[in-house]
Amino acid sequence: MENEIIHIALFASGTGSNAGKIIEYFHLHPFIKVALVVSNNPDAPVLKISSGAGIGTLIISRERFFKGDAYIDVFHEKKIDFIVLAGFLWKVPLTLIRAYPGKIINIHPALLPKFGGKGMYGKHVHEAVLAAGEKISGITIHYVDEQYDHGKIIFQASCPVTKEDDANTLAEKIHQLEYHHFPPVIEKTIKNIVKTTGTHS
Ligand code: GRF
């Protein structure tokens, strides 16, 4: 394993503020490198962040992602070892999950298993949390399986929901938790995989 670099592909559909924090965190890391940013949206602001950081990008098409080979050959060519979903809105196809078993993780802006599933993204999540009168919310980092927001949970952190909160203030609190925890949890998860398998391939 020594001298081997673990290459991450970051998948993001929108702003990419988490992607930006992850890129920053692993910049100069001794053996983990963000090698590729993947987006389904050619206008996604995340692409500016990645090109600013000199990281290659890949815009994927629905046709090839779902009905084709899910770009598995491209990821292998680019030596991608680990996939991180950071605000990626498409469901990951089974072919890709099978090509990267236990090596795809996602972050969800609530405490799963509550407030997850199809349609539960962005503000919809925070609105649902507020409408349910929850006193706490938080983040969940989990492995990706074939169902939305369903795979084994790796990490959770929580924050209070107050009477004054609206979807915007709650989103901001959640983002702060994400920025703080997501990069080191990615690092720890990769280190565990490397420790268990002895290699990343
Ligand atoms: C984050 O809140 C994340 O939990 C969810 O999508 C959001 C992405 O935000 N999966 P950003 O694009 O990183 O700002």
What angle separates helix 17-26 from helix 167-197, to the nearest 10 degrees?
40
CA of 45 to the centre of ligand 1 (A): 12
Are 190 and 6 in contact, with CB atoms under 8 Å apart? yes
pLDDT band at 95 (very low <50, low <70, confident <90, very high): very high
Residue 76 within a domain: yes
What's residue 198's pLDDT?
73
pLDDT of res. 2: 45
Which of 50, 13, 6, 9 is CA-nearest to residue 31?
A: 6
How many separate domains does the chain show?
1
**What spacing in Å lies between the alpha carbon of 88 and ligand 1's midpoint?**
8
Whether residue 171 lies inside any domain: the answer is no
Catalytic option among 108, 126, 142, 200: 108
Q: Do residues 140 and 113 make contact, with C-beta atoms less than 8 angstroms apart?
A: no
Domain contains 89: yes
Helix residue ranges, H only, 6-108: 17-26, 46-52, 62, 72-77, 94-99
**Burial class of residue 82 (count of CB atoms within 10 Å of its CB; 0-12, 13-18, 19+):** buried
Domain-located, residue 31? yes
Q: What CATH code is carried by the domain that includes residue 23?
A: 3.40.50.170
In a domain, 173, yes or no: no
Residues 15 and 47: beta-carbon distance below 8 Å: no
Element (H, E) at 57: strand 56-59
Residue 192 tokens, joined: 């565990």
Q: Does residue 59 sit within a domain?
A: yes
Q: Considering the domain boundaries, does residue 179 fall inside one?
A: no
Report pLDDT for 200.
Answer: 57
Q: What is the mean pLDDT of the chain?
A: 95
Spatial CB neighbours of 93, under 8 Å, sequence gap ≥ 6: 65, 66, 70
Domain of residue 146: give its range. Answer: 6-117+139-156+184-197
pLDDT, tens digit (0-9, with 9 covering 90-100), for 30-52: 999 999 999 999 999 999 999 99
On the question of pLDDT at 199 being above 90, the answer is no
Average pLDDT over residues 2-28: 93
Pocket of ligand 1 (CB under 6 A): 12, 14-19, 86-87, 107-109, 174, 178
| Residue 34 belongs to a domain | yes
How far is residue 181's CA from residue 4's CA, in Å, rounded to a whole number? Answer: 25
Which residue lies with its CA nearest to atom 8 of ligand 1? Answer: 87
